[in-house]
Amino acid sequence: MMFYNANGRVRRWFLVGSLVLNLFLVAVVSGQYLHHREGHVPVLTRILRHVTSRLDAQDAAAFRAALHQEAPHYAQAQEDLVRARAEIDRQLLAPHFDPVATRAAMQQWQDAWNVFVGTFSDALVEAMGRLSPAGRRALVNSTPRQKSGY
């Protein structure tokens, strides 16, 4: 019988395949749950909320104002990034998985990410420049760091 060969390889491959599929499905379901739980708040908005929660009221207002003022410079890049991410989701949720299309979608997302980071970093530098030294220190001290010293 095929399932009971001497090495049990076929059964092991079925077990590994089943585990991988289950982990993938758990990740998809968890991602959807978290997406709906967050109320469709964009990631950038959540990050900025976290950042400004570490600042006093005056620094937080100055930081938000600078980013709002600079929004025309990075808004299109942000929209392109959101669309690229949606295409990855579409590919992953398609009834028939297409690895070529998925790789292309991931490359498109990476390219969109690079453009976004390039344009948003200018706005972020402008916003950081409007913070007080204490505000910049609060942000630096609130970010997670690797313990290795790098």
Task: Check: CB of residue 77 under 8 Å from CB of residue 113.
Answer: no
Q: Show the DSSP H helices in 38-56 as ranges.
A: 43-53
| Span 51-71, average pLDDT | 87
Q: What is the pLDDT of residues 75-130, one digit of tens each?
A: 888 889 889 989 999 999 999 999 999 999 999 999 998 998 888 888 888 888 99
pTM of the predicted structure, to 2 decimals? 0.59
| Span 48-64, average pLDDT | 86
Task: Check: CB of residue 108 under 8 Å from CB of residue 84.
Answer: yes
Tokens 């060969």 sit on residue: 5
| Span 63-75, average pLDDT | 86
